[in-house]
Amino acid sequence: MVTDPTQELAKAAWAERTARLRTVLFRSGPLIALLLLLAVLAILSPHFLNADNLLTVARQTAFVAILAVGQTFVIIRGGIDLSVAATAALSACIVAVLMTEPVLFLGIPLGPMSPVLAVILGLMVGALAGTFNGFIIARFGIPDFIATLGAMTLFRGLALLVTGGLPVPTFRIGVGAGGGLPEFLLWAGSGHILGIPFLLIAVLVVAITGGLILRFTAFGRSIYAVGGNREAARASGINVGRTTILIYAFSGLMAAIGGILLMGRLSSANALMGEGEELRSIASTVIGGTNLFGGEGGVFGTMIGAAILGVLGNGLNLLGVSPFWQRVAQGAVIILVVVLDQWRRNRLRR
């Protein structure tokens, strides 16, 4: 039987177009899910699309979204960071204590530290905490899960020691030797620029920065290479250990930024702040399409994932759903998304 070459070419072109469309639809899955969720909640609750409510969602989601940017780098590498929320708490507590307590240098009290210097030191603490994680993982080959699980407990303990187990609130302004949380930090947590919450602006800046790093820098390409095939990356000249340390240092820095902004939003810092949010940061990253096995993902999808969790939680609150059932619903959504994601990847490999 003689086949018509024209028909064969047409079939091949049609199959290629279909495959491309399927790929686009699959990769747009998180965004489509978010739009459908918005539409459903808008129908079920007349207050959901209220501008004030949407801004509230943005403020409530900001902390997790910033943590998730660093988590995206880690998961693309093929790892996981359970210590991000503890790092955020430790950084925030150190900043708060430095601004409200006398600083001792060689046994001499120097008074509360400058807020700017305290914030810089807090950011350094976050980066150093991440560097510690990366070094332990790269140098001793400890699985990321175990290393960061231990670090999570370690950093929470250090935060408790720093604060004495007590919160550091704003009412300590002018009390005793301490100063207090400065106005610019309180404004960063609750202020607005042209009606837009500063927290939302901070999230956009962090997300854009993370996206640019992944897309346009050698470091970003190294992350994908290490996550895709570690041995091949090493053979191509990439220093896998150094890349791992830098990835975790970046994750720690993002956690410190998120913790300091959360401190401003809460007008307080305490050692247990953000507890459990490390799991939401992982969920946001996975829901956004980042491959848990590494080598694939991006910050844009992570932001969509964080928005889905934030919108879902807010919508269920507006509908009067019990907090217990909210946990059930959020867990079910995470499991469903992971199952669909693995199914999608298996289809694309065929």
- Listed by start position, the domains of the chain span 45-349
Residue 269 phi/psi, 5-degree rounding, is -130, 140
Closest CA to 289 of 307, 305, 311: 305
Q: Which residue has the tokens 């590494």?
A: 294
Best-predicted range by mean pLDDT (83-92, 98-107, 184-193, 318-327)? 83-92
Q: Which amino acid is at 350?
A: R
* Average pLDDT of span 226-231: 94
Give yes or no for a contact between 86 and 155, defined as CB atoms under 8 angstroms apart. yes
Q: Which residue has the tokens 């990769």?
A: 27
pLDDT tens, residue by residue, 325-346: 988 988 888 788 777 777 766 7
At 115 the pLDDT is 87
Closest CA to 312 of 302, 324, 326, 323: 326
At 106 the pLDDT is 56
pLDDT at 161 over 60: yes
Give yes or no for a contact between 155 and 89, defined as CB atoms under 8 angstroms apart. yes
At 9 the pLDDT is 60
Q: Is 297 left (phi over 0), alpha (psi -120 to 50) or beta?
A: left
pLDDT at 171 over 50: no
Maximum pairwise Cα distance, the chain: 96
* Average pLDDT of span 317-324: 90
At 167 the pLDDT is 87
Query: What is the dihedral angle through the alpha carbons of 198, 204, 205, 211, rounded to the nearest 10 degrees?
Result: 170
Give yes or no for a contact between 162 and 128, defined as CB atoms under 8 angstroms apart. no
- From the DSSP assignment, how many helices (H) and strands (E) are in the chain? 14, 6
Give Cα 131 distance to the centre of its chain.
17
At 194 the pLDDT is 85
Residue 109 phi/psi, 5-degree rounding, is -70, 125
Give yes or no for a contact between 89 and 335, defined as CB atoms under 8 angstroms apart. no
Q: In angstroms, what is the C-alpha Rg of the chain?
A: 23
Closest CA to 223 of 208, 206, 239: 239
Best-predicted range by mean pLDDT (164-178, 190-204, 240-254, 332-346)? 240-254
CA distance 100 to 122: 14
Averaged pLDDT score across all residues of the chain: 87
Exposed / middle / buried, residue 271 (Cβ in 10 Å: 0-12, 13-18, 19+): buried
* Average pLDDT of span 234-260: 97
pLDDT at 209 over 60: yes
Determine whether domain 45-349 maps to CATH 1.10.10: no
Q: Taking the complete model, does pTM exceed 0.75, yes or no?
A: yes
At 114 the pLDDT is 83
Reported as a pLDDT band with limits 50, 70 and 90, residue 267 is: confident
| Kind of pairing between the strands at 168-169 and 108-109 | unpaired
* Average pLDDT of span 272-281: 93
* Average pLDDT of span 212-237: 95
Q: Which amino acid is at 70?
A: G
Residues linked to residue 169 through DSSP beta bridges, in sequence order: 268
pLDDT tens, residue by residue, 21-78: 555 555 677 888 899 999 999 999 988 989 889 999 999 999 999 999 999 999 999 9
Q: How many residues does the chain have?
A: 350
Reported as a pLDDT band with limits 50, 70 and 90, residue 89 is: very high
Closest CA to 138 of 77, 90, 84, 86: 77
Give yes or no for a contact between 122 and 92, defined as CB atoms under 8 angstroms apart. yes
Distance set, CA 304 to CA 29, 50, 69, 120, 163 (Å): 10, 20, 11, 30, 35
pLDDT at 172 over 50: no
At 282 the pLDDT is 94
Closest CA to 84 of 230, 259, 345: 259
Closest CA to 61 of 212, 256, 281: 281
Give yes or no for a contact between 88 and 81, defined as CB atoms under 8 angstroms apart. no
Give yes or no for a contact between 29 and 336, defined as CB atoms under 8 angstroms apart. no
